[in-house]
A and B are shown apart, each in its own frame.
Chain A
Amino acid sequence: MNCHKCDAKAVISLQHGSLCKSHFLSYFEEKVFRTINKFQLIERKDKLCIATSGGKDSLTVLYLTKKYLEKYNCNNELFALAVDEGIAKYREKTLRDLHHFCREQNIRLETVSFNEELGKNLDVAYPFINKGTKKKPCHICGVWRRYLLNKQARDLGATKVVTGHNLDDEAQAIVMNLFKANTKIAGRLGPISGIEEQELFVQRVKPLYFCLEKEVRLYTILKGWQVQFAECPYSHTGYRHDIQEMLNEFEQKYKGTKQGIINSFLAMLPLLREEERKQPEEIKPCQECGEAANQEVCNACKMKAIIQSC
């Protein structure tokens, strides 16, 4: 099969036609740059913190954010921030790739770990927290990771956190919230998320919002980046994993399903945000740590307390 733009051999067939290596690379990059421009993800005054793990999505977003700034002659300051959850036989691999990549790309890299900041690695903390609360590893991991990213990014002076969330991640989150009737949480999704007028929160932006996970992996392969395959040992334990499998089944049968979810969601998002504005959730500093919380004590501190009592 050949590229629909030239006669070269195609590397991927997309909904609107097949593309060769060079046309795919430019299609992909332009899509990311268009997303940044259309949703104004990056403003001239922003200091950018790129949330990275060393996986394909974060390397791609790191590389393309830097490329975007160069292309549009922006002088924004940028650094990478990695969270080490402490997951044996997994995170050390991806962090090694990340160190290497940042050195090569000349990007400053900061690291923060669960162990240092919260007292325990995820591997150690999970059984304790799970015993009392039945919380799954991904839930604990997500709460602590978001907490540390926000805190650390703000302490380092960042005004935006750039994440590598792709179209698949977002479609999964939308469906998860839909199935669980979490409309309040759903209203915080979108290419630019977080609560705008809250000084404790740093806004999160997602340049890969319209990129399928498959496209991101293809991009990294075609760029020749050596990312070794690594899978978190907990990745099959959560609700998200089941949603992911379901969406992939659908996508295989009905191409365009995931994109359809995103498009429908974006059409509804203004309404969800409007609702949120009418009845805003009260956010105040956590009594323990001073970070943003919707109760007296934030979720991260609650989990920390469980471990300390063990």
Chain B
Amino acid sequence: MKISVHIERTNTTQKIDFSGITVRQLLCQLDLNLETVLVARNNEVLTEEETLQENDLLEILSVISGG
């Protein structure tokens, strides 16, 4: 499925071809550690087991604020 991902840390948006189902799988595909980000959709924070849908627009928020 195709989904759009905005990454807060780099302030970039990318459209990706996602082959999995859950948030956990998406983070794995993006090579992001589960402990370092939170994922939101329509301003709602999702758990790692949440199922993603075609055309979802996701926000990847950074947990770590260096400093």
Establish whether residues B65 and A230, one from each chain, have CB atoms under 8 Å apart when the complex forms: yes
Establish whether residues B63 and A213, one from each chain, have CB atoms under 8 Å apart when the complex forms: yes
Q: How far is the CB of B12 from chain A (nearest CB, A)?
A: 12
Q: How far is the CB of A129 from chain B (nearest CB, A)?
A: 19
Contacts of B67 in A (CB 8 A): 53, 55, 87, 90, 94, 230-232, 235
Establish whether residues A13 and B47, one from each chain, have CB atoms under 8 Å apart when the complex forms: yes
Asked whether A214 and B38 contact (CB < 8 A) given A232-B67, A235-B66, A244-B64, the answer is yes
Give how many B residues have a beta carbon under 8 Å from the other chain's beta carbons. Answer: 23
Contact of A236 among B35, B62, B66 (CB under 8 A): B66
Establish whether residues A229 and B62, one from each chain, have CB atoms under 8 Å apart when the complex forms: yes
Check if A271 is an interface residue, CB within 8 A of chain B: no
Complex Cα–Cα for A53 and B47 (A): 29
Q: How far is the CB of A244 from chain B (nearest CB, A)?
A: 7
Binary interface encoding of chain A residues 215-243 relative to chain B, with 1 for a CB under 8 A from any of its CBs, else 0: 00110011000000111101110000100
Near A by CB (< 8 A), chain B positions 21-67 give 33-36, 38, 40, 44-50, 61-67
Check if B15 is an interface residue, CB within 8 A of chain A: no
Complex Cα–Cα for A90 and B66 (A): 10
Establish whether residues A221 and B61, one from each chain, have CB atoms under 8 Å apart when the complex forms: yes
Asked whether A18 and B62 contact (CB < 8 A) given A90-B67, A252-B34, the answer is no
Contacts of A232 in B (CB 8 A): 66-67
Establish whether residues B47 and A249, one from each chain, have CB atoms under 8 Å apart when the complex forms: no
Contact of B65 among A9, A231, A252 (CB under 8 A): A231
Contacts of B2 in A (CB 8 A): none
Check if A69 is an interface residue, CB within 8 A of chain B: no
Establish whether residues B38 and A13, one from each chain, have CB atoms under 8 Å apart when the complex forms: no
Complex Cα–Cα for A254 and B54 (A): 31
Establish whether residues A12 and B64, one from each chain, have CB atoms under 8 Å apart when the complex forms: no
Q: How far is the CB of B21 from chain A (nearest CB, A)?
A: 13
Contacts of B65 in A (CB 8 A): 55-57, 217, 229-231
Check if A156 is an interface residue, CB within 8 A of chain B: no
Establish whether residues A12 and B66, one from each chain, have CB atoms under 8 Å apart when the complex forms: no
Complex Cα–Cα for A234 and B67 (A): 8
Asked whether A11 and B64 contact (CB < 8 A) given A248-B36, A249-B33, A252-B33, the answer is no
Contacts of B44 in A (CB 8 A): 9, 11
Contacts of B49 in A (CB 8 A): 1, 13
Given A217-B65, A249-B33, output 15 extra A-B contacts at Cβ < 8 Å: A1-B49, A11-B44, A11-B45, A11-B46, A55-B65, A56-B65, A87-B67, A94-B67, A217-B38, A217-B62, A229-B11, A231-B66, A232-B67, A241-B66, A248-B35
Of the A-B pairs whose beta carbons lie under 8 Å apart in the complex, a sample of 26, sorted by A's number, is A1-B47, A1-B50, A9-B44, A11-B45, A11-B46, A13-B47, A18-B47, A21-B45, A53-B67, A56-B65, A57-B65, A213-B35, A213-B63, A214-B35, A214-B36, A217-B61, A217-B63, A221-B45, A222-B45, A229-B9, A230-B65, A231-B66, A232-B66, A232-B67, A235-B66, A252-B33
